[in-house]
Structure 1
Amino acid sequence: MEAFGNFLLLLDSYLGSSFWFPYVLLGTGLFFTLYLKFPQIRYFKHAIKVVSGKYDRKGDEGDTSHFQALTTALSGTVGTGNISGVALAIFLGGPAALLWMWVTAFLGMTTKFVEVTLSHKYRVKTEDGTMAGGPMYFMDRRLNMKWLAVGFAIATVISSFGTGSLPQINGISTSMEATFGIEPILTGAVLAVLLALVILGGIKRIAAVTSKIVPFMAGLYIVGALAVIFYNIENIGPSFVSIFEYAFTGSAAVGGFLGASFAYAFNRGVNRGLFSNEAGQGSAPIAHASAKAHEPVSEGMVSILEPFIDTIIICTLTGLVILSSGVWNEKFENQFDRTDMVILAGQYEQNNESNKLELYKYLNEDGEHSVESYTGKIEVVSGKALGKDFTIINARSIAEDVRFTLSSNDDPYTGTLEVVDGKLVKQNIVVTGKSLIHSATLTTKAFTRGFFGEYGQYIVSIGLLLFAFSTAISWSYYGDRAMTYLLGPRSIMPYRVFYVAGFFWASFSDTTLIWYLSYVAIVVMTLPNLFGILMLRKEMRETVDKYWQDFEKEQQSK
């Protein structure tokens, strides 16, 4: 599994983590923002009226209302990205990463408006009478690029696992174990059964469930976040300053945080922003294609609200909770994931400035450095390592109070451990100690620093359960629409079986590996979609212009 994780990281280095991907994503959003004259600002008020049903007509074709389509799409985006993804972005890039999440969301409001409008315009009615749409349909029916449509649909199926199923249940099970002590496999088994019961009912049952879950879970999470923010109100000003202070220079080392370069903060902020709101990925258009609407632009208007709610509101609250509580640069007792841990040659100290500089360069791949991975043997007595010719790095921080125990019975280990290229060879050893933490664990810790105290962690656990479970529900629909396009309605049931099975498996798999898989899946889906909407830029502007002409005539006739 470690070798597979390294392979995924290699792929990601050429895709989502490459220098060019953020520019392609943000560049597309910026282009359409200017090309369509800032629709995310000009049409925002109108979008609220559309989603309220003010302009609905009887007899509009579709399976769901505007509001249900919005909540289904939101349930697909409001998930672990809002709880774990924001924490991961700050952990990797420092406070400045949050700024780039905002930029991604603002430009993403326009990107989503475009992709939803075009997908809704070319949707079709399937053999079973339900609506099917998404970027694969405009690629096929309008661009006549069957190969691109097939590629996108295949990527959607893969991404339904990498975005919707695997990381969601992994985040839930990790949080439930940390908060309530429930075994991950048990959490996975129960929720896999519930997932199967919901998705077997198709889009109407999915929409009915998500339209009830989304408002409740958002309200609960916002209350919990505000309880932390107001408790640490004196830190809100400095938190905002830290977000902007290092936006173009990279974040400085603070506490256990060893610093992050501009490139790292920018890349991770954009990457996590995309994972959170999915603008440009082409997933939300699949949900919106089911909406009852006589005019595709009106449904595109509805989608403008998604990145605003998902990232500008909910992700910002998560970020402020983490920053104002101060947990983002503190070390906590935790069990080290092998993928987060590396053993370096030589002794590095937290208070040594030259040591920190070398580690900064090493962790951020920023310039030449003298840091090398350790290869050799470590003598351990009663769980404690002897010798000072190595340093253990976990979660991008210098680990402290490290202990080695046997995974079979938690007894302190005594013996010799072999290390090759910074990695432990022996697999039945559990490593624990103090280091930085990330993902859902970091957010959970932050929520205990508010008016609710330790009870705050339950809000994260319940919120994560609802957020992530609803995301898994929505993504099952995205996947089955892609399978419908590829192989027809008969392929839906086998897909759902595999989807539920993968959901269960991921509940007890390595957290970091799941995130690595999602990195690759997201980009593989995004690139064909961005290419398609850029190809149809002129048609998009003409469609929007015609919408306003028809709208004004309709309003004048009333």
Structure 2
Amino acid sequence: GLAGFGIGNMVQVNSMAHALQTTFNVPLWVTGLATMVVVGLVILGGIKRIGKVAAALVPFMCVAYIIAGIVVLVVNVDAIPTAFSLIFTHAFTPIAATGGFAGAAVMAAIRFGVARGIFSNEAGLGTAGIAQAAGTTTSSVRSGIIGMMGTFIDTIIICSITGLAIICSGVWTSGESGAALSAAAFESAMPGFGGAILTIALVVFAFTTILGWSYFGEKCWEFMVGTKAIWPFRVIWVLAVPFGAVAQLDFAWLLADTLNGLMAIPNLISLLLLSPVVVKLTKEYFARDRLAPAV
């Protein structure tokens, strides 16, 4: 219930605010207040049309983002082999790292890699089950298989394109961080509109994520406390938005990472305890599929 305020609220609006400030010079507090108002209209005011419009834009913006990322890679195609070499070199043999520090550097790489991977696909947090429970499928195994595709698309495709774009364009040494770094990579390959494409896509993605995570958090609190917790949670959720916009980037991520860990630990323990049930249901599902008559 609390983790959503990190990964699903503060970090989302923080990334959105910094991207808008970098690309369009919009003050952080303006983005925070505007987002709070619009999120409040949907969650508190019941104006679901705004949320539906944003959700309808997600597939379009996702395709536009991938195309833009590929354009960046095509423009910098000669740098792709060097980028892969740089990634593996720094991951396993950190530059200028000796003795005990080398191990610390690799450990830090793993720590941040796992943390950011969780942000990308939410693997192990238990949120996917909440979303899938609202679906119409009668097969939990099929629902799980479809959900697993999200991890591949998020992490292997989109994150790889983004990471390679940042390295190939050379902006990774610019001193920027967060969304501003990605915007700089897109802008370098598509001057005048590359940064705008990324920023607009990020605004749509972040806004719909804030709405989606409000549902996750609400369901958690409703399960623990009852329906009387719904409206207080919604109010606090909306009021937390502007604080995320003006917070320091490092603080927002640290808070979210900490809360994610606190949510993942009990969920992963539950997954281990339920693994025999998962194996049994999966075997039955595929056995039934093999026995089904051909159409």
In structure 2, the residue matched to 1:176 is 20
Within the alignment, does 1:281 sit opposite 2:125 as a pair?
yes
Structure 1 CA distance, aligned partners of 2:110 and 2:83? 18
Aligned with residue 491 of structure 1, among 206, 226, 229:
229
Spell out the pairing of 1:152-191 with structure 2 (5 A cutoff).
Answer: 157-191=1-35
* Contact 2:36–2:239 under 8 Å retained in 1: yes
Counterpart residue identity of residue 250, structure 1: P
Once the two structures are superposed, residues 359-391 of structure 1 have per-residue CA deviations (whole angstroms, 9 ceiling, x without a partner) of: xxxxxxxxxxxxxxxxxxxxxxxxxxxxxxxxx
Q: 1:221 to 1:313 in 2, by over 3 A?
A: same
Taking a change above 3 Å as real, the CA distance of residues 238 and 557 of structure 1, as seen in their structure-2 partners, is: closer
Name the CA shift for 1:556/1:243 in 2 (closer, same or farther; >3 Å).
Answer: same
CA distance in 2, matches of 1:207, 1:300: 25
The whole-number CA distance in structure 1 between the counterparts of 2:234 and 2:186 is 35
1 CA distance for matches of 2:185 and 2:119? Answer: 21
Structure 1: 5+ residue runs without aligned partners? 1-156, 254-259, 331-435
Q: Which has the higher helix share?
A: 2
Q: TM-score, normalised by structure 2?
A: 0.91
The superposition leaves residues 61-88 of structure 1 with CA deviations (integer Å, 9 ceiling, x where unpaired) of xxxxxxxxxxxxxxxxxxxxxxxxxxxx
Contact conserved, 1:173 with 1:188, CA < 8 A, in 2?
A: yes
Is 2:1 aligned against 1:263?
A: no
Q: Matches of residues 109-124 of structure 1 in structure 2 within 5 Å?
A: none
Figure out how many residues of one structure are paired with residues of the other and give that number: 288
Cα drift, residue 207 of structure 1: 8.2
Q: Is 1:439–2:178 an aligned residue pair? A: yes
Q: 2:132 is aligned with what amino acid?
A: H
Give 2:152's match in structure 1, choosing from 308, 311, 320: 308
Alpha-carbon distance in structure 2 between the residues aligned to 1:225 and 1:160: 28
Q: Deviations over 1:483-512 (max 9, x none)?
A: 110111231111111101001222222222
Q: Which residue in the other structure is 2:187 paired with?
A: 448
Equivalent residue letter for 2:85: V
Q: For each residue in 1:96-142, what CA deviation from the matched residue of structure 2 results, as whole angstroms up to 9, or x when unmatched?
A: xxxxxxxxxxxxxxxxxxxxxxxxxxxxxxxxxxxxxxxxxxxxxxx
Give the conservation status (yes or no) of the 8 Å contact 1:162–1:518.
Answer: yes
Cα RMSD for the two superposed structures:
2.2
Q: Which residue of 1 aligns with 2:280?
A: 542
Q: Is the 8 A contact 1:199 1:205 kept in 2?
A: no
Give the number of the structure whose alpha-carbon radius of gyration is greater. 1
Task: Write the letter of the residue equivalent to 1:556.
Answer: P
Unaligned runs of 5+ in 2: 98-103
Counterparts of residues 490-509 of structure 1 (less than 5 Å): 490-509=228-247
Shift of 1:250: 2.3
- The amino acid of 2:176's aligned partner reads I
Instruction: State the distance in 2 between where 1:442 and 1:238 align.
Output: 19
Q: Tell me the SS of whatever aligns to 2:246.
A: coil
Distance 1:201 1:306 in 2: 31
Deviation at 1:159, TM superposition (A): 0.7
Distance 1:224 1:251 in 2: 31
Identity of aligned residues (%): 36
Q: CA deviation at 1:329?
A: 2.1
Give TM-score, length-normalised by structure 1: 0.49
Cα distance in structure 2, aligned partners of 1:207 and 1:528:
31
In the TM superposition, residue 189 of structure 1 has moved relative to its aligned partner by 1.8
Distance 1:512 1:232, change over 3 A: same
| Cα distance in 2, alignment partners of residues 277 and 513 from structure 1 | 21
Q: Which residue matches 1:462?
A: 200
* Separation of aligned partners in 2, 1:315 and 1:189: 29
Q: Which has the higher strand share?
A: 1
- Equivalent positions of 1:136-535 (< 5 A) are 157-200=1-44, 208-209=52-53, 211-251=55-95, 261-330=105-174, 436-450=175-189, 452-535=190-273
2:278 aligns to what SS in structure 1? Answer: helix
